[in-house]
Structure 1
Amino acid sequence: MENRVGMRWTSLLHNPEGVNAAYQGNPPDLRGVRVHEVTLQVEGPTLKLRLDLPEYPDRPPRKWAVQKFNTVQIEISFSGLRSVSLGGFKSEISADVSITEGDGVNVRVTAPGVHLQANAATVFISTLTAYVDEA
């Protein structure tokens, strides 16, 4: 998702190379993502979001194509966590995620009945994988 000054969310990542390579430099916006996990860790302190990206790459990495994967999952880590608020949670979450710059990095996750907002020093991709989603 583009933020107020028109930058893509990947431009704020400490390590955008993997996701940019998987999507040939054009990763999808973070609208309508399936949220699997929200984790808070004291080390950092860190907030981690594990989610499925809303689109699969047109030309996926060979190892993904060979295994006939159809879904990309990432774990985004927000380290140096300064603030976090969470309201509501449920078992199936399709959300819009916004990552913007401003006094570090801000993240907002919004879905019906779910709201998460946080501010951290840095953001990076801690895991980038693919799998077969039978749904």
Structure 2
Amino acid sequence: MSGRSKTPERALFLGQRSTTHLSNGGPMSFHIEKINILSDLYGYSPSFNQICLHQLTINWNGPIVQLKFDLHEFPSKPPAKWGAFNTIQVDLSIFPLSLIRVEKFGEGNICNIAIDKVRDNLFEINVTGDSIADIHGSHIRIEKLSAYLNNP
């Protein structure tokens, strides 16, 4: 396998279809609904590392988890209507849930979000950093993308 890890590599939104490699070295593609919104805005797919996690909401109707977070970087060519802003906020939904474990929800909340496809119709979302959570669900969708002026 020359250099391939025995565990799945993290697939952090690498375009509309993301690819991760299994322990046997074969690719496994999966779809994250509306991911093209981010790649169209940035011209590439931004990382979900060093995000600022504002909110983790659990709702029985689904059941569903919604994550609201700021991306670490702002696009170099934002839409004209976002010219005065400096922060992109993403609302991400994971549903229906098969597991949720929240170990802590921190202050400041700088985190990394990693997404793995464990098997057909099962994603594992790991939040690490100031907050720690494991979320398992069948679907992942970007619900909303917005911009605002964040004063440092």
* TM tier, smaller: 0.7 to 0.9
Q: Which residue in the other structure is 1:76 paired with?
A: 92
- Distance in 2 separating the partners of 1:48 and 1:70: 23
Matched letter for residue 59 of structure 2: Q
Structure 1 or 2: more helix by fraction = 1
Q: Which residue in the other structure is 1:22 paired with?
A: 41
Q: C-alpha offsets along residues 58-79 of structure 1, whole Å, 9 cap, x if unaligned?
A: 11122112xx110000011001
Q: How does 1:75-114 map to 2 (within 5 A)?
A: 75-103=91-119, 104-112=122-130, 114=131
TM-score by length of 1: 0.87
3-state SS in 1 of match to 2:73: coil
- Distance in 1 separating the partners of 2:10 and 2:124: 15
Matched letter for residue 46 of structure 2: P
Matched letter for residue 59 of structure 1: K
- Are 1:127 and 2:144 an aligned pair? yes
Matched letter for residue 100 of structure 2: V
Number of aligned residue pairs:
129
- Distance in 1 separating the partners of 2:81 and 2:112: 29
- Distance in 2 separating the partners of 1:14 and 1:109: 19
Matched letter for residue 20 of structure 1: S
Matched letter for residue 101 of structure 1: K
CA RMSD of aligned residues (A): 1.8
Q: Which residue in the other structure is 1:50 paired with?
A: 68
Q: Highest CA radius of gyration, 1 or 2? A: 2
Contact 2:57–2:65 (CA under 8 A) maintained in structure 1: yes
TM-score by length of 2: 0.78
Unaligned runs of 5+ in 1: none
Percentage of identical aligned residues: 22
- Distance in 1 separating the partners of 2:135 and 2:55: 15
Q: Which residue in the other structure is 1:33 paired with?
A: 51
Among 4, 9, 19, which residue is 2:8 paired with?
A: 4
Displacement of 1:18: 1.4
Matched letter for residue 23 of structure 1: Y
